[in-house]
Amino acid sequence: MRSIMKSAKFTLDQMFYTEFSVKANAAFKRDCEECPTEPKVNIHITPTDENRYLVGMNLIKNQEVDSDAYEARAFAIGIFVVDDDIEKKKQIALVAQSGPNILYGSIRDQIASLTARGPWGEYLLPPKVFEPGDYELFDGSESD
């Protein structure tokens, strides 16, 4: 069977962190019955040039209960490029659907890598899937 690979219509051109910190909770208790605090995530999508979009993700995971092993803060920026043969509305839909999920996965991996060397062992952010309706797009309107 022959496999034919298609070129990607949507690519992550660059990704970087403008802020990243992880802090161990000295009061952490493994046997604490409280559920760990959920991270808070804010997402911003802005066009930069023709067919290029900047996706910013601000993640804050506070230590609010003794079951929170770590506090984490990250601000990630991804620059995505979409093929110019795709109409503008579909470009925005691609970026809005996939961009935040790619950034969250990267932040999740980075936190796991850092906490694996911490006093309480590896911490994985809870799995999440972001849908375009979960946040506002760059023009201030809700996504469809």
* All structural domains of the chain with their residue ranges: 15-131
Q: Note whether 18 and 55 are within 8 A (CB).
A: no
What is the average pLDDT across 61-72?
Answer: 95
CATH number of 15-131: 3.10.420.10
pLDDT tens across 92-119, in order?
Answer: 999 999 999 999 999 999 999 999 999 9
Q: Judge whether residue 140 has pLDDT over 50.
A: no
Predicted structure pTM score? 0.87
Reported as a pLDDT band with limits 50, 70 and 90, residue 49 is: confident
- Cα–Cα distance list, 142 to 57, 73, 78, 90 (Å): 17, 26, 21, 15
Q: Which residues contact 55 (CB under 8 A, 6 or more apart)?
A: 43, 44, 45, 77, 78, 79, 80, 95, 99, 100, 103
Q: Judge whether residue 82 has pLDDT over 80.
A: yes
